[in-house]
Structure 1
């Protein structure tokens, strides 16, 4: 197999382990790019079509299981008439190897492991699946110490149409329940029995029963009580031992009613309230307390660790006597028969005269406790013991069942045990804060809560972390009537910081409100380009990723910096330059002409010239003049130029729109 690709996607990399019915390989899923475990069955299904379909049906039923402590089954396939399962690959070791290396464990270390196992089995039971083969070899432990149960692929769904006694299977005989050892059908309580044996092994480092043959071990499960843990380790609290005693009682009726009940018990075994707990004992009922016949004829277990059908363990019948022909003795026979009849009648009638009077236990199931006691006492029975149990069927205070059961005949004056309903089973809400929401809901799904919903909010905690829960921890709830609401972290609220350059102070404040950032103003700074009270710079820069409430600093402009100003007076003389006009002599008297034929024009009034002064300085630009006037003669003019330190200025003078003077002026120029 190594080096081959099966199913078109699983490349076999190496062998992980071998079992009686299968081999397990490490493989790589080339499509999803992940390592997986592939279990290949060592069985020829060529002529076993019904068995093949049954295996496929059972494997598919296991794919429905989703729980943090159950190995996921990803795929079921067939390659060259060989069936295989594709499962989650767990890098670690089996719980069996862990116990061998580290056992025995203290209750403080064993309890977390058991809580994980029981929660996983509870999830399977709620999905209608019984494991049937719970043992440390089928439990994997990862590097973090968390455990996951595997091999649900061989379990059958409870609603399977061919779920008959002939389909009953058993697991390793060391963890086998008495009903499985007898060849009976495995139930949910069979899994609870096996869990009790695993708990025993965790705490002691050894199995409760050992013998030379598998049959002898099976008989011990049938006939012997589980050895006391306190005999090995006296320091073990009685409350811890009681979990094992209750899980492994021979009669399934006295075991935990469900894996949920066992899980709840595990949560409180080390609490101070249970420090002085009495040893668990099964209530006496002579209808139930019967010796199991000793089996002397051995039967064969082909493979202890594999799943096999077995024949119910029954005592051998003695051989039939060989008939011997005798002489007829009718008179003697007639006398014997008559004597037997007389003795029989005496046996029936004499107890009523010589023995105590008996009466039938009435059916008080469903009655109020006071009514039931009244009816029992009216007949003559005594109620000296009562046990409270939760019930989904019977209301608070109603009778669930009696010991002895209704219809049994008992001596008048004998005691009857009443089981009284405490109402629907309640569960104390644990504290799930600071735990992962997906894992918690995977666990809580098995409890049958009415609904489980998240309220997701941003926080500094990692995404998926439970921040708050409703109902609160410690609240007693009825799962089927309770809605769970978890406040779950969405992680940090990361946002992109915008570009605030050029924003006014009011605009920055408005942005802070809408963005959720904590924006503060640093000291203002001068800017040649940015107007006063507008943003010059920011830290962090635009485009940075910040969480809601992240701090941002901005620098506002104080406007241009006020530099030293110098007033430079430029004194200039503006020349008046009249234009000379010579016109032809209009005088017809040639005696008045000069030698050139022109006549001398008399003096005229000067023509005004328009002067404009332009200045480039701190306050003015060349775009517009600062002064305008006319001259008819030369004029001295003082031009004021106001310059900041380091600034260059200039002036320009026009006469009748023509430039007649211009000059650059520097701040450094002397007055």
Structure 2
């Protein structure tokens, strides 16, 4: 058991997650990069196969050059003693086979989405001169988001090239085997296309097109039987989609898609409304192909024999030869040769006939005249000119667009101008429809991929992408608008297309003022609102205490951040203390004024500034009023001529 062991002092084996006839796949942890990986290890009973090991390693190394989001990445290839392994990206999910078994039949839209990922991956491999050779749902992984990744590139062919046999392994693959592979031929790019067609069939129906009791019986069906109709399984499947299956799985590789890219392009538009009811794909008839010739019996030849055709002589049997009597040899009588006279006479006759036809034709044939040039004339004027020349103008007129000849005038004639024809010949006019125009339809709300396929040969398309809550790829606006007629040549239509929702990661806005909140949401494309205000001893009034959602959350553009604003510290209870004091008059000189200064420290005042200031010439009563906050104290001072004559302080609790 390898579970718990460490391979090459780096990969710790966690558990067995899969296996086949020649290797096992384990979930492992890369101790250096601290990540989970999948590690494929060649089984012990094949480790002594030197050729297998070399090919196993060579194929794996070649695939490391592939970088594609739908191909499982290979990180490392190595040996640890007798263990030969390949380290791959770990895809947490299930195989496409498990997905099909759980959810089949898969909807056409979902099937096409999966197939576009697969064709993109295989196209990338083919560009790098790598043929998969063993495409099947068991070799396709699907993650939690529904994205698929292809694995096991080239390994199946590498293993099957060795000296051993694994019938069960072949049986697992033969369901997707192309006819040329079943015939024992070499796998090509088109073998991968065939397997992709079988995978699409299985997605749409949940079944395999060919089954049997043995690998041989299934392989024979790949060679001899046409792929069953997916529409016979489900009549709602568009004919255009069935055509993809039929073309990809054509028995003759020359009738399949030329490349995987061509198949991918077909899938891009296969569900468009313009293609749903297209004719069923049929194999083109090759008149030059070798065919079996039926045996024609002698009696049928006798009835209506074509003497210009070569036919075989009837064989003569030995018995007939023996039955004939011998013929005596007779010396031929020599005659004088007469053929030189005959040849000379025949030559004279031929020359005479040639001269007769050369000159007599011009003598007796009707006179030919040139067809007049009526280009750029109106139909009426052109007709008149042709009739005056002795020609007949055909009632049927061909009409076509022209960039040079205005609408209603003649572009050319058939026969063309200056052609020699006898009088009375019928002349057809080709009349201008004017410059070709295109009437613009309403494309808003449609997917840009479908509209591009519809207009690619008619208009130049310019695309502007904007973030929107509408589905990604949907056309939001167009210019020109519906109903406009524009000149077809170099005509351009501009589409504003949804790029999908823009996601914004929310920052922390704690302690932001209202002005700062306005600036922030304007900059990032959000909105904000106040849900409530509350007292806070630490956050200044008018600033943000808390927010919803929390920082780091992703919001769609235009969403709102809800905040709680501070009202500042909460108001504490107060008490009012009143004290009447007597300020004595004690001048140094009789009758002189004394300056009195009153200072107060309470909720509303500080001693930095005088609360009251006045002069006295006699004793005077004064009422002092202090407002004391809970938990704090208040105080007062009475200063006479710069001398403190009385002061006192009071706690909140001292006041009754």
TM-score, scaled to structure 2: 0.52
Q: CA offset at residue 494 of structure 1?
A: 0.4
Equivalent residue in structure 1 for 2:638, among 647, 651, 654: 651
How many Å separate the matches in 2 of 1:250 and 1:524? 77
Q: CA offset at residue 132 of structure 1?
A: 0.9
User: What residue in structure 1 maps to residue 545 of structure 2?
Assistant: 540
Answer yes or no: is the 8 Å Cα contact 2:178–2:194 preserved in 1: yes
Answer yes or no: is the 8 Å Cα contact 2:41–2:84 preserved in 1: yes
User: What residue in structure 1 maps to residue 50 of structure 2?
Assistant: 48
How many Å separate the matches in 2 of 1:521 and 1:136? 53
User: What residue in structure 1 maps to residue 618 of structure 2?
Assistant: 636
Is 1:491 the counterpart of 2:504? The answer is yes
Answer yes or no: is the 8 Å Cα contact 1:239–1:269 preserved in 2: yes
User: What residue in structure 1 maps to residue 598 of structure 2?
Assistant: 615
User: What residue in structure 1 maps to residue 387 of structure 2?
Assistant: none
Q: CA offset at residue 253 of structure 1?
A: 3.0
Answer yes or no: is the 8 Å Cα contact 1:540–1:552 preserved in 2: yes
Q: CA offset at residue 640 of structure 1?
A: 5.1
C-alpha root-mean-square deviation of aligned residues, in Å? 5.5
Q: 1:18 to 1:621 in 2, by over 3 A?
A: closer
Give the alignment of 1:134-533 within 5 angstroms. 134-141=135-142, 146-152=147-153, 154=155, 172-210=173-211, 214-215=215-216, 217-231=218-232, 236-288=237-289, 429-430=448-449, 489=502, 491-498=504-511, 511-512=516-517
User: What residue in structure 1 maps to residue 2 of structure 2?
Assistant: 2
Answer yes or no: is the 8 Å Cα contact 2:22–2:46 preserved in 1: no
How many Å separate the matches in 2 of 1:546 and 1:91? 26
User: What residue in structure 2 maps to residue 553 of structure 1?
Assistant: 565
Q: CA offset at residue 522 of structure 1?
A: 9.1
Answer yes or no: is the 8 Å Cα contact 1:536–1:554 preserved in 2: yes
Give the 3-state SS of the residue equivalent to 2:244 in structure 1.
helix
How many Å separate the matches in 1 of 2:77 and 2:194? 30
Q: 1:572 to 1:36 in 2, by over 3 A?
A: closer
Answer yes or no: is the 8 Å Cα contact 1:63–1:73 preserved in 2: yes
Answer yes or no: is the 8 Å Cα contact 1:430–1:473 preserved in 2: no
Superposed CA offset, 1:42-62 (max 9, x none): 47566837x645433321232
Q: CA offset at residue 474 of structure 1?
A: 11
How many Å separate the matches in 2 of 1:521 and 1:16? 51
Answer yes or no: is the 8 Å Cα contact 2:546–2:564 preserved in 1: no
How many Å separate the matches in 2 of 1:509 and 1:15? 58
Answer yes or no: is the 8 Å Cα contact 1:104–1:203 preserved in 2: yes
Give the alignment of 1:591-630 within 5 angstroms. 611-617=594-600, 626-627=613-614
Q: CA offset at residue 37 of structure 1?
A: 2.6
- Which structure 2 segments of 5+ residues have no match? 159-169, 293-446, 451-463, 480-496, 523-527, 554-559, 629-633, 651-656
How many Å separate the matches in 1 of 2:606 and 2:95? 91
Q: CA offset at residue 150 of structure 1?
A: 1.7
Q: CA offset at residue 242 of structure 1?
A: 1.2
How many Å separate the matches in 2 of 1:116 and 1:489? 24
Answer yes or no: is the 8 Å Cα contact 1:643–1:649 preserved in 2: no
User: What residue in structure 2 maps to residue 78 of structure 1?
Assistant: 79
Q: Report the structure number with the largest CA radius of gyration.
A: 1
How many Å separate the matches in 1 of 2:570 and 2:142? 67
Answer yes or no: is the 8 Å Cα contact 2:583–2:622 preserved in 1: no
Answer yes or no: is the 8 Å Cα contact 2:476–2:498 preserved in 1: no
How many Å separate the matches in 2 of 1:495 and 1:149? 42
How many Å separate the matches in 1 of 2:532 and 2:83? 75
Superposed CA offset, 1:313-361 (max 9, x none): xxxxxxxxxxxxxxxxxxxxxxxxxxxxxxxxxxxxxxxxxxxxxxxxx
Answer yes or no: is the 8 Å Cα contact 1:523–1:556 preserved in 2: no
Q: CA offset at residue 491 of structure 1?
A: 3.0
Q: CA offset at residue 78 of structure 1?
A: 1.0
How many Å separate the matches in 2 of 1:623 and 1:99? 87
Q: CA offset at residue 40 of structure 1?
A: 1.6
Q: 1:551 to 1:222 in 2, by over 3 A?
A: same
How many Å separate the matches in 1 of 2:13 and 2:218? 38
Q: CA offset at residue 134 of structure 1?
A: 1.0
Give the 3-state SS of the residue equivalent to 2:39 in structure 1.
strand
Give the 3-state SS of the residue equivalent to 1:137 in structure 2.
helix
Q: CA offset at residue 246 of structure 1?
A: 0.6
Give the 3-state SS of the residue equivalent to 1:643 in structure 2.
strand
Answer yes or no: is the 8 Å Cα contact 1:497–1:546 preserved in 2: no
Q: 1:153 to 1:653 in 2, by over 3 A?
A: same
Answer yes or no: is the 8 Å Cα contact 1:94–1:138 preserved in 2: yes
Q: 1:555 to 1:234 in 2, by over 3 A?
A: closer
How many Å separate the matches in 1 of 2:146 and 2:263? 22
Answer yes or no: is the 8 Å Cα contact 2:587–2:594 preserved in 1: no
Q: CA offset at residue 510 of structure 1?
A: 5.7
Superposed CA offset, 1:278-300 (max 9, x none): 11012222345668xxxxxxxxx
Q: CA offset at residue 95 of structure 1?
A: 3.8
Is 1:30 the counterpart of 2:10? The answer is no
Give the 3-state SS of the residue equivalent to 1:266 in structure 2.
helix
- Which structure 1 segments of 5+ residues have no match? 158-169, 292-427, 432-452, 476-483, 501-507, 578-605, 630-634, 667-671
How many Å separate the matches in 2 of 1:212 and 1:665? 107
Give the 3-state SS of the residue equivalent to 1:172 in structure 2.
helix
Answer yes or no: is the 8 Å Cα contact 1:91–1:142 preserved in 2: yes
Answer yes or no: is the 8 Å Cα contact 2:532–2:563 preserved in 1: no
Q: 1:79 to 1:613 in 2, by over 3 A?
A: same
Answer yes or no: is the 8 Å Cα contact 1:92–1:142 preserved in 2: yes
Answer yes or no: is the 8 Å Cα contact 1:36–1:86 preserved in 2: yes
User: What residue in structure 2 maps to residue 129 of structure 1?
Assistant: 130
How many Å separate the matches in 2 of 1:32 and 1:211? 47
Answer yes or no: is the 8 Å Cα contact 1:121–1:259 preserved in 2: yes
How many Å separate the matches in 1 of 2:156 and 2:465? 33
How many Å separate the matches in 2 of 1:652 and 1:68? 87
Task: Answer with 554-563 or 148-157: which moved more.
Answer: 554-563
Answer yes or no: is the 8 Å Cα contact 1:565–1:645 preserved in 2: yes
Superposed CA offset, 1:59-85 (max 9, x none): 123234344443332221112143211
Superposed CA offset, 1:96-122 (max 9, x none): 455556655554564444344333323
**1 or 2 for the larger relative contact order (CA 8 Å, sep ≥6)?**
1
